[in-house]
A and B are shown apart, each in its own frame.
Chain A
Amino acid sequence: MIDLIIFPSLLISGYLFGQYFERKHYRSILKRESDTLHVPLLTLKTVPSELKRCDAELVAGNVVVSVDYFKRFLAGLRAIVGGRVKSYESLVDRARREAILRMKEQAIDKGAIVVTNVRIETSSISKGQRKTIGSIEVLAYGTAISPYRS
């Protein structure tokens, strides 16, 4: 009986809070992405020749995002029938973009004009164990290139 009250309330609160934070996060991501658009991100390993006489520095952005109750239940149902785990796709997308933004913002603070050799690493905190909180970690790092300060 009590299960039938707790479970739906967790689902509903998971849905409401999860959706609220996701919308808020996406608004922030879109705004910051357009604000930082002037600094290009490159995946090239080598620094373009035009930028050879510049400062190079490591920049990194790291983020951990937790799954909400609703998303987790949805993904659990998905695991039975198969198909796109849409509820997790937005989570991964947000984590990836947020990590890149943090890295980029750090680079802009250092006066960078471009970030090269951008790489992304992803890991799962819960490692798929049962009854643990599912969350994703994304680390973005690259080489910030800024003009000589001297």
Chain B
Amino acid sequence: MDYEPKIIPEGINTSTEHPLREFFVLVSGIALVIVFVTAVLALSADFLVQFIPLEKEQEWFSNELPVDTNRSEPASDTSLKAEAEQQLQQLIEKLRDEEKPEYRFTLGLLDSDIPNAFVIPGGHIFVTSGLLKLVDSENGLAMVLAHEMGHQYRRHPLRSLGRGAVIALALMVVSGAEIDALVESFVGNAAVLTSLGFSREQELEADLLGIALLTRHYGHASGSVEFFEALKGQPYAGSDTPEFLSTHPGVDERIDLLRAHSRQSSGDKTVLPGAIQSYLESIDKD
């Protein structure tokens, strides 16, 4: 037999499609599905929260504070601190929405230099001494408290808890499936980034509710951006994180939103209650 050498043509066993094209099609397609599934899970958790009676929430997360506000050595004079806490509690009572008396709030003052305030399910608000140092007037402080109260009036803490739980559960199911470890972390990150969007939305909602409570009490919205302006000068944690990776919207965006929604933005500010001032002086000495 005769042998005639021939080159086998290319492209029979391999594809000529550019690998980057396949990459972008797959990544965007799968990311879209993850965003959709996460959003559906988050929204359904959100929806179900309204069927949990407020009394149940208050019962589950009753006065047992999960955070020891006097942990380790007390950094401050305990009696001064108790008075400051009382003042803060009174401020909350002044700010509260009269039409919603069923919402209860407690307040805890935390000895920490990191300026922060948060609310946990059951309406327990926590404020750090670092935050108190950053505000100049009672109005500025009231805005922070009103923001946290706004979260509770919309039941954000419980919603976040539910949302976190369903997304964590979904990710556990994914991690049980036999998929590549790289893809698993891709799926996890996409889901977390999606749920951060819901968190940022809640912050803006609480800001708007906060400014409404502030205006109702003082008759004007002066001081609403005081804390955020002060925060801009601080090297606070996460200030260099891009917004899409963050639980909170950018400070500038929040200031703009608050300014846009202040109907009566000028007015006389009230000075900080005396007990809070003495408390701040006492911790400054240490």
Query: Chain A interface (Cβ within 8 Å of chain B)?
Result: 1, 3-4, 7, 15, 19, 33-34, 37-38, 40, 48, 69-81, 84, 86-87, 89-90, 92-93, 130-131
Contact = CB atoms under 8 A, between A and B. Distances in A.
A34 B27 CA distance: 39
Contact of B13 (A1, A7, A33, A93): A93
A52 B241 CA distance: 76
B183 A79 contact: yes
B79 interface: no
Given A33-B7, A37-B7, A77-B26, A130 B13 contact: no
Shortest 9 CB-CB contacts between residues of A and residues of B:
A76-B180, A76-B183, A37-B5, A86-B15, A77-B26, A90-B14, A93-B13, A40-B3, A89-B14
15 contacts: A3-B189, A7-B185, A34-B7, A73-B180, A74-B23, A74-B26, A76-B182, A77-B30, A79-B180, A84-B15, A86-B17, A89-B13, A90-B14, A90-B15, A92-B13
A79 B6 CA distance: 37
A89 B20 CA distance: 15
Nearest to A96: B13
Contacts of B183: 73, 76-77, 79-80
Interface residues of B, number: 27
A72 B22 contact: no
Nearest to B27: A77
Contacts of B185: 3, 7
Contact of B241 (A1, A34, A69): A1
B235 interface: no
